[in-house]
Structure formats: C-alpha cells, structure tokens
Structure 1
Amino acid sequence: MLPRRMVLATLLAAPALGHAPQAAAQPAWAPGRPIRFFQGFAPGGTTDILARLLAPLLAEALGQPVVVENRVGAGGTVAADALAKARPDGHTMMLLNNGFAAAAALFERLPYDPLADIAPATVVATMPLVLLVAANAPYARLAELLAAARARPDALNVATVGVGSTQHFVAEALWAQAGVRLTHIPYRGTPAALIALRNGEVQVVVETVGAVLGHISSGEVRALALSTAARFSGLPETATVAESGIGNFDLATWYAIGFPAGTPEAVLARIQSETRRALADPVLAARLGEIGLSPVGSSVAEARALVPREITRAREIATRVNIPRQ
C-alpha cells in the first residue's frame, strides 16, 4: 500500500530579523475560473462516482466550481488526450486510473506520451480486486483453486470484463506468479460474468471489490482472496493473495489526479493539499468505504513515482502473458 502520512510542506515564513533579505514567500495558487475535471468512463462507474464526490469539496476549498466532464472512449485515452493538449495553467485536470497504465501497455500508438505529457498531483484512493467463486463451489480457499488448476491446466475458466482490463491484468499476473494456467473468457460487464459463474461456465471471476460487494454480502458468490497486500475493511474475513501463499502479490485499482505537463508546481501542491483535506472528511470517507475505496491522498512525489511504475508493470505483464497489443 502506498504510505498515507506524507504531506507536502509549504514554507511561508517571513524573513527573520537580522538576516539578509530573502525573496518574499509566494502565496498559494488559486484558480481564476472554473476547473474542468475530466474522467474517461461512463457515468455511474467508480471513476465517475469518485470524481463527483470529490468535486464539490475541492470547489468549496478552491473558491471556484470544479466541473466533472465525462470524455468517454478508448479506455480513457480520449480524456487523457484532451488533458495532454490542455493549457497547463491549473484549470484542467483528470481523474486517472489503472486504465491509463493499461492503455500505455496495450496500444502501439497513443496520441499523447503517458509519461511526458501528464503531471500527476496525488493518488486519491485505491480499491482491491477480489477473486470470486460460486456460492456452492468446492473451493474454500485460494490454495484449493490453485491446486485444481495445477491438476488440470487450462481446464478452469476465469471471467473478467474484457481483454486488457485491470481485472485481466490482475488475473494473469496471479496465474503467472502461482505457476498455473486458466482459460480467460472476457464478458461484457460484471453482470454477464456473474451469470456465467452461477451457470458454471466459468469457475472464477476477478472483479473490483466495489462492483461486487452487494453480491458477496447477499451470499450469491464467495470471496476467495483479495489482490492487495492488506485486507479490506469491508471484507475483514477475506484473506489476501499474499496471505494465501503467493508472497509479495499486491495489485490494486488506483485513482490519481493528473494535469497537463508543465503545470506549475504550486498548482500540483495546492490540489494535493486540498484533496488530502477532502479525504479526511468523515462523510466522504464513509461513502468511499461503502463503494470499496480506501482513501490515500499521497504526496506529489509518490504520485509521480506510481504512474511510471504502474505503466512498466502493465507492460511487463502484457508481454509475459501475451496480451495482444492494439
């Protein structure tokens, strides 16, 4: 998990008496007009919900409206392209997620450079993924599923919401690390994958926690293991993959605010600070927990480190398991 206690310090001290004059401290950046807040996915998804929960709190703190714009298409690349081409003056930002790293791994050519054209400001939140089996499945633990997969290579099927999705990347990374082979079957959305699980067409589904919490709570499906190093408070009895014998496995869905490259550091620092403050709001924190999100509010430096690391990891996984490039 990302560290959550690192906060950017802003030096605003006046020159001390008796010392040589120093440059006057710069005031914190403030927007001069409404901020456009892009997100690249359809309304109602986790990215959209998170952006719309965060926007009013940021608007209140910044004194300008923060307007969420859904720029849907090509796995978030339409929105990322618009962000990359926006003026770097602090008035256009985007809620990035794992799809940003996946696109860099999957597409031969992008209309923007995911490393050079985007300036991350903060990691907002993370969400674990969960391995699901049917309620009547013979597997009570992940180790039992993996043993069955070793005994019958390629005989078990795993469902995700699509080739190249975060769910697909996590599934393939797990099978590779565990030394097993399952047949990947992509479905159009979570409901279709869960129907296939109930009907016995697939033996396991990999999905984000937020998309299936209700199904787990109702007993419709069984949560077998979580993809993150730490357990999720909403599923306290569900072990992690690492606890299940696959050491050092830690993959999560993440959400980060990014700006066009060249955006002043003062902008990034202000947005990081206000985002962290918003995430401390107990009402927002409770709502995020309800939809499977864990608040982070990382430093700018941590966000800068995360994005290239995730792109590198996505490319390595795609190459190792032969996920075709587009």
Structure 2
Amino acid sequence: MTSLLKRLVRTTTLCITAAALPAVWAAGETVTVVTPLAAGSASDVALRIVTEKLALALAQPIVIENQTGASGAIGAEKVARAVPDGTTLCGCNNAILGVLPHLRKVPFDPAKSFKPVGMVAVLPTALVVNPSLPVNNVQELVAYVKANPGKVSYATGGVGSAQHIAMSMLEAATGMKMLHVPYKGASPAAVGVASGEVHVMFNAIGTVLPMVKAGKLRAIAVAGAQRTPVMADTPTVAEQGVPGYDYASWIGIVAPAATPDDVVNRIAGELTKVLRSPDTIKRLADNGIDPSVMTPAQMRDYMASDHARMARVVADAGMKE
C-alpha cells in the first residue's frame, strides 16, 4: 500500500469514526487541555502522549496549555469557570485536586467544580539520593538521618507537591526528620539532588531515570505497593521494612462541572481506547509512566478517597504553605 493510500485510508477511518459518534463540537474546533503543571514534567509528558492520540480518535485538534501559578490553583480555576461545552478540559494531578485544598483556601471545589472524565496515568515514584550519601536502602537512610539530626535535607517541587507528600508519609512512618528544601518544580528539585545541593528526594521515575542511568542519582526504593517494570530490581519502600507504605502520583482529565454527560462520555470512551493501545502503553513506559484506565464514575470515587487520604497526611505532617 502506498503512503498516499495509507493516508487516505486513515483519513477516511477518522471521518467514519467521527460521523458515527454524536456531534458535540464544530468540525475542526480546538479542544484546550489546561494543565497547571510545568512543561516537561512527567505529568505533562503523559498528557502530551495521550492527547496526541486522543485528538486523532476524536478528529478534533487538542492543544496543551501549561498554566502554572499559585501551586496549580490558577489553571484549575480557569477550567472550573470555563464554558462547559467540552472545549476546555483540565489535566490535573493529585497535588492540585487532593492536597492543595487542605493547605489553603482555593477558588474551586475538587468535588463540585469539576466532572471527572478519566484517569490518564500513574506516575511511579522513586526514592533517590545523591551518590555521595552513604546509604543504599531505606533502612540505611533512616539510620543515617537519625544519627545525623538536622544535617540531611530533602528536595520537593514545593509545599504540598507529590514529592512533599511522599516524603512526609515516609517521615511519619519511620520517625525520621529531615530538612525540607522546596524548589519551583520537580525537575529543578531533581537537579538539586543530583548536584549535591540537597541529599534525597522522592520523584517521578520518568523525571529521574535519565539521571539514575547517568550515575548522577542512586535509586534506593520505589514508593508504590508493587515494583515497577522500568526499575524491576529496585525494591519498594514496604519491602524494606516500612509495611503498608504506598504512594504514587496520578494525572487525570476533568471538565467543568456542568459539562453534558454525552460530551464527557464521548471523550472518556475514546480516552479508554487510547490508553489501551499498545503504542500508547509503550510510549508511556519508555518515559517511566504507567497508563491508568478509569471510567468517569470510577475516577470520581477515586478522587474522593484520595482527597480524604491526603487530608490525613497533611494534618499528620502539620503541612502548611
């Protein structure tokens, strides 16, 4: 089959697919996915991989708009107040929807301002240290921190970030206490640990994996309940003497609360197909990211549970912005 014929077949297939689905947008109308997260972050990478495929499935252009500021509140509010017609969506993570409302008053309600569309990905998280730190596992880290009070620091992407939550949970579970050094984003924080400015941090595997491979960081644990294929030889925190420890950041898509169900269901249906495609799975895995498929109803319940869990973590850690 010639390349021209392949393109014609592909275009015809898209047109047939679009015609078979209920019309919810004007032809060629752009769908904007606002994400209150920095370009190049693991969450941003996941959104871009998935929405590239989703645009083809919906036969609608999709653009990512990185709207950072106020720990994500500005971007989230923009979507909450947007016209609820499916042309403006939000790519939000648990730090924005699950944690931030417990830290301060925000101009949106995670449960009432948005209608869940679907999960996009879980971002497997690794515990990494600067190679100069004389620890090779969680037990050694805990022992070293307790033997050197006030001398060990950890980096995060900011107060209430995924990295802050993960480390606060580990401190609470082990009784160790380190100095918190917040950076303006997860990527600069990883660079801070690699350069030796800070000693240790939790971060998305997709963000730190190149530094681990280059020997600039040493991975000593993964934070989830199970090992991840991309770091198959790295044991979980729970395997290393912290039973029950389980943390993973997530990124999902939500719409303004009044968005019609038929619009949400159409996007959700195509999103599920995209996330289950072998090509998407491989591209996400190559970036240290695991796809996560949830219906709108499942995501609503998951968000509610995560919101309650994060309230306890924030309170136990005495976390304040």
Alpha-carbon offset, residue 179 of structure 1? 2.0
8 A Cα contact 1:31 1:64, kept in partner = no
| Higher mean displacement: 283-292 or 148-157 | 148-157
Please give the residue correspondences for 1:175-186 in structure 2 after superposition, counting only pairs within 5 Å: 175-186=171-182
In structure 2, distance between residues paired with 1:53 and 1:181: 38
Residue 212 of structure 1 aligns with which residue? 208
Residue 299 of structure 1 aligns with which residue? 295
Instruction: Say whether 1:31 aligns with 2:24.
Output: yes
1:61 is aligned, of 57, 79, 87, to: 57
Letter in structure 2 aligned against 1:56: E
Letter in structure 2 aligned against 1:202: V
Change (3 A) 1:285 1:240: same
Please give the residue correspondences for 1:83-122 in structure 2 after superposition, counting only pairs within 5 Å: 83-100=79-96, 101-107=98-104, 109-122=105-118
Alpha-carbon offset, residue 262 of structure 1? 2.5
Residue 226 of structure 2 aligns with which residue? 230
State the TM-score, normalizing by the size of structure 2. 0.85
Please give the residue correspondences for 1:1-326 in structure 2 after superposition, counting only pairs within 5 Å: 29-33=22-26, 34=29, 35-100=31-96, 101-107=98-104, 109-189=105-185, 193-194=189-190, 196-197=192-193, 201-325=197-321
Number of corresponding residues: 298
| Higher mean displacement: 311-320 or 238-247 | 311-320
Change (3 A) 1:174 1:73: same
Alpha-carbon offset, residue 190 of structure 1? 5.3
| Higher mean displacement: 60-69 or 169-178 | 60-69
Secondary structure class of the residue paired with 2:181: strand
User: Which structure has more helix as a fraction of its residues?
Assistant: 2
In structure 2, distance between residues paired with 1:176 and 1:317: 9
Q: Percent identity?
A: 33
8 A Cα contact 1:227 1:250, kept in partner = yes
In structure 2, distance between residues paired with 1:28 and 1:194: 44
In structure 2, distance between residues paired with 1:137 and 1:76: 33
Change (3 A) 1:254 1:221: same
Alpha-carbon offset, residue 154 of structure 1? 3.7
Letter in structure 2 aligned against 1:281: S
In structure 2, distance between residues paired with 1:122 and 1:131: 28
In structure 2, distance between residues paired with 1:54 and 1:194: 25
Deviations 1:231-277 (A, max 9, x none): 11111111111111212221111011101112233333222221111
Deviations 1:170-192 (A, max 9, x none): 10111101222222122345565
Residue 9 of structure 2 aligns with which residue? none
8 A Cα contact 1:154 1:183, kept in partner = yes
Deviations 1:193-240 (A, max 9, x none): 456545655332222211110111122221011111111111111111
Mind listing any 5+ residue stretches in structure 2 that lack a counterpart?
Answer: 1-19
| Higher mean displacement: 297-306 or 129-138 | 129-138
In angstroms, what is the RMSD of aligned CA positions? 2.2
8 A Cα contact 2:42 2:123, kept in partner = no
Alpha-carbon offset, residue 90 of structure 1? 2.4
Alpha-carbon offset, residue 281 of structure 1? 2.5
In structure 2, distance between residues paired with 1:224 and 1:59: 38
In structure 2, distance between residues paired with 1:273 and 1:198: 41
In structure 1, distance between residues paired with 2:132 and 2:158: 25
In structure 1, distance between residues paired with 2:195 and 2:78: 42
Change (3 A) 1:189 1:282: same
In structure 1, distance between residues paired with 2:76 and 2:190: 31
Secondary structure class of the residue paired with 2:231: coil
Alpha-carbon offset, residue 312 of structure 1? 2.3
State the TM-score, normalizing by the size of structure 1. 0.83
8 A Cα contact 1:40 1:79, kept in partner = yes
8 A Cα contact 2:47 2:120, kept in partner = no
Change (3 A) 1:295 1:179: same
In structure 2, distance between residues paired with 1:294 and 1:197: 24
